[in-house]
Amino acid sequence: MPKSFKIPSKSSNINQIDHIPNQKAVPWELPPIWKFDFDQDYQPLVEYVSRLEFIENMRNLRTKQNDLLDHDVMKELKQFCLTCCQHYQSEVRGSSHKILLEQSWANLANQGDSHHEHFHPNSYLSGVFYLKNDANTSITFHNNTLIERYFWSQAPAQDLEGSYPSRMDEVNFLAPAGCLIVFCSKMNHSVEIQEEDTPRLSLSFNTSLERPYGDYNGLTLIR
Ligand SMILES: [Fe+2]
C-alpha cells in the first residue's frame, strides 16, 4: 500500500490486544489506490497549464481542452502516467494488458473552491497529477456502497470511542505537488474546500483497455 495510507489513531484507552506480540494491522483498500512520485522538473508544465483557458466546472475551474497529455510539452508526463498505470495493472490486476490514455484535463481550485464527490464513468483507471498544491490539500476516496459503509455499523450496540478501520467511510491521501495518484475509475472521490489563498492545480486523465479484451466463453469479450 502507499506509504501515505493512514489509519486514524485510536483515542480510547482500552486496547485489549496490546499484549499480543508480533501483531500488525494490514491496511487494506479494495481496489487499492497507488501513489507515484514524478522525479522530473514539472515547473514548465505548471506554467504551461496556467496559461491555458479555464472554464467553469462544478465548484472549481477546468481547462477548456481535454487532451492535455497529448500536447508536446507533456510528452514525459504522459509516458510517466502510462507507465504508472501499467504498473498498477501489473501489481493489482496481475495483468500486462495494454492501457490506453483517453481524455486528460486540468482542474484549478481557487480559495473557497472544492471538488464534489464523483467517479469517472467509462474509464478503467484514472489518475490525478498534482502540479501545484501549496496548501497540501488531500484527496478523499469514499466507500462506494451501502454494504461497505454500514455492514459493521449496526452492532454491537456499545462500542469504544474513536476511529477504527471498520468504520472508515473514507480515506484521505495527502497529494503534494509532483505526485501522481492512480485509482480504479469507479471509486468515488472528492477534494475538500481550498481554505487558503494558494490555488491548487491538478491534471486528471482517464484510460481504457486496448481491444480486444475479456473472454469469449465468459461473455465478457469486448472486440
Ligand atoms: Fe476525479
Higher pLDDT, 147 or 122: 122
* Ligand 1 center to 196 CA (angstroms): 21
Nearest to 97 by CA among 76, 80, 82, 116: 82
* Ligand 1 center to 13 CA (angstroms): 38
For the CA atoms of 145, 148, 150, 151, what is the dihedral angle to 10 degrees?
130
* Ligand 1 center to 18 CA (angstroms): 39
pLDDT at 124 over 90: yes
What is the reported pLDDT for 169? 78
* Ligand 1 center to 47 CA (angstroms): 22
Strand partners, 202: 107, 130
What is the reported pLDDT for 155? 67
> How do 188-191 and 138-142 pair as beta strands?
antiparallel
Percent of the chain with pLDDT over 90: 67
Q: Tell me the pLDDT tens digit for each residue of 78-109.
A: 999 999 999 999 999 999 999 999 999 999 99
Q: What angle is formed at CA 119 by the lines to CA 117 and CA 124, rounded to 5 degrees? A: 160
Q: Tell me the pLDDT tens digit for each residue of 132-166.
A: 999 989 999 987 776 666 777 776 767 777 777 77
pTM (two decimals): 0.85
Task: Report residue 26 CA to chain centroid gap.
Answer: 20
Alpha-carbon separation of residue 223 from 21, 22, 114 (angstroms): 53, 50, 39
- Average pLDDT value for the chain: 87
What is the reported pLDDT for 83? 97
* Ligand 1 center to 96 CA (angstroms): 25
* Ligand 1 center to 28 CA (angstroms): 21
| The three cell numbers locating residue 59 | 465548484
Backbone angles phi, psi at 46, to 5 degrees: -60, -45
What is the reported pLDDT for 31? 85
Q: Tell me the pLDDT tens digit for each residue of 159-216.
A: 777 777 777 778 888 889 999 999 999 999 999 999 999 999 999 999 999 999 999 9
Nearest to 30 by CA among 176, 205, 148, 179: 148
Question: What's the N-to-C CA distance of the chain in angstroms?
Answer: 33
Residue 56 pLDDT level (bands cut at 50, 70, 90): very high
* Ligand 1 center to 161 CA (angstroms): 33
Q: For the chain, which domains are there?
A: 4-145+165-209 (2.60.120.620)
Distance CA 188, CA 126 (A): 11
What is the reported pLDDT for 157? 67
What is the reported pLDDT for 6? 45
* Ligand 1 center to 193 CA (angstroms): 15
* Ligand 1 center to 111 CA (angstroms): 19
pLDDT at 70 over 70: yes
* Ligand 1 center to 118 CA (angstroms): 6
E strands, the chain, are 34-37, 54-57, 60-63, 99-109, 115-118, 125-132, 138-142, 170-174, 179-184, 188-191, 200-209
Alpha-carbon separation of residue 83 from 18, 79, 106, 160 (angstroms): 42, 6, 20, 44
